[in-house]
Structure 1
Amino acid sequence: MTKNIFGLTLTELKNELQPGGFPPFRAKQIVEWLYQKNTYDFAAMTNLPLPLRQQLTDLYTIETGDVIVKREAKDKRTTKMLLEFTDKAAVETVLMRQNYGNSICVSSQVGCNMGCTFCASTLNGLQRNLTTGEMLAQALKSQELVRKDNERINNIVIMGSGEPLLNYDNVLGFIRLVHEKYCMDIGYRNITLSTSGIIPMMRKLADEDLPITLSVSLHAPDDELRSQLMPVNKRYKLENVMKAADYYAEKTKRRITYEYILINELNDNIAQAHALADLLRNRLANLNIIPINPVKERNFDRPSPQRMKTFLAVLDKRHVNYTVRKEMGTDIDAACGQLRNAYLDAENE
């Protein structure tokens, strides 16, 4: 039975090849083909001897999945792909071409079981965790697209479908691998991980001594509303999530990003804006305001421009450091889970 080697580190590949008598430098050549040249066929690795290429073909596979759906926004700045793996599990990744570089949003699980009421990713539940290699495949498929323009991926956001901290080991393996120079050479400070607030793993991540950006999904300034929107809050209360985020900021000296999806007449009134300002006061924090990208099954609407203006005016008056997320890819269902759900619905018809 052949073994998939895609997603192995250089050290892991050397250890894998050693019993077969392969010289260690061959592992370096192979990872360069895989991760730098996006070549997934041993026969095309031309600096390897022909007998070795055949031997590798007999022993190993290179499984990167297949892009089964690709959608490009009208402005050509956003591309969304649905990637299917050998077990027919499908995940989404989004490439965003921005003024400050090319960013990708990577999924960490197939589906999600967090149950957030505004999110499309949870509609079909959790199928399984993704491996390090399956997350890397999303990144490298995106890398192939920008390479055509002699560009590279500059930033990675682990904010697609799934809760990354519930797939901790694979996600951490992915972060360390894309950082390696023989892989994508992404600086840790250019990697963001988003969590709904899994407190024990937030603290564990803080102790890893990796200066990645932690993004916390907030979406409400109090426990009652947050528990309605995010069932995880019933287990991990807001006050304790904030303390875990403070611990992360203290350990890493990195500013925490707090995500706040703005939903019409639910979390966007003046009192809630003041409560949000109180919550973030004296914290090392950036606030990212996200007007909701409506999901048809969820029946939530975005606020009117006037309601949003009034909400933001409070934040300005309270000197909150915030940005409003620029919308990208709304014409291609770029919100997490929308493309996968449409594909599943079509399959089930």
Structure 2
Amino acid sequence: MYAAVLTRFGSPLAVREEPDPVAGGGEVLVEVLATCVAPYAAEVFSGARKYPLVPPVVPGIGGIGRVVRVGPDATRLRPGDLVWCDCTVRSRDDALTPDITLQGWSSRGEGGARLARHLHDGSFAQLMRVPTENVYPLPAAAADDPARWSAVGCHVIPYGGLLAGRLAAGETLLVSGATGNLGSSAVALALAMGAGCVVAPGRNQAALDLLADRFGTRVRPVPLTGDSAVDSAAMAAAAHGPIDMVLDLLPPSAPSSVARTAAMTVREYGRVVLMGGVGMLGGDDFALPYPWIMRNSVTVRGQWMYPREANTGIIRLIASGALDLAPEQVRCFGLDAVNEAVAHAAAHPGPFDRTVLTPPTR
């Protein structure tokens, strides 16, 4: 098969022939049709994000494909099925606190690193092997535009955060980082799930205007000034009432003060879910005040990626039309143009802008 290989950090990806992966027990072999390129992929491949990838490695964060071969433990999947391949791989020998690796992308701890050594390669290739439980059938309509459906990999992440925060219909959500790729997805998802309104703070006025134009009055854009007191007042005023939940999806480049200001707009007994990258590259600590958390009975929790059932949920939301992929901008690149795709993704990190790699079929 042909694959794009990260041979070492700081070097362009090399497109070359690699041995076909061989799926063992509990695994499925999938022909990759489309996979999203993350806007921050260039930072990962340069080494700036310090992800625990071990070159040489085929990167990639999940994808859309067709089943080539299934193992004996698969009772419903069949060769030829169109599927979504989830990159979030969990160890099978600890149901309570499983080790996790993001196949072809990242991992957590020594257990995650062991998983990454076993399932080393991701979706920037013609073929990939995937654990059986990470393969999800797609509706027949997805076959008309697999590249557009590969946005599942973007939408399922903030969906996991909204599930973690137990967002309920009619509630007010504030999305910290709303103008980014994941943050804008959170805005769309919250509305699809029945949120009463979404407060959307950000510095990118064009992105704020896009959100307001697309979703109407249920989105309340707030241009940020950098002054914590001014921004806090503006976010609270935009909500027209209490903010029930804050979802933080700010990138590592964002200062912790921005995340803290947004989090502290939440109401008494409210929930704050942290999913972004604040502090990953150094800088000040998030440091929410202990008395404020305690006296206001605020729930603060972290959420890395999403539970398995989020994959089924996001597919249903898209299939039903509640989450509409039609307005998204999709730019496709062949596997031989992978480095061009990585550069394009970095230059187009905004709302509903997808860069998609489409390996040639065999």
TM-score by shorter chain over 0.5: no
TM-score by length of 1: 0.29
**Greater percentage in helix:** 1
TM-score by length of 2: 0.28
Structure number with bigger Rg: 1
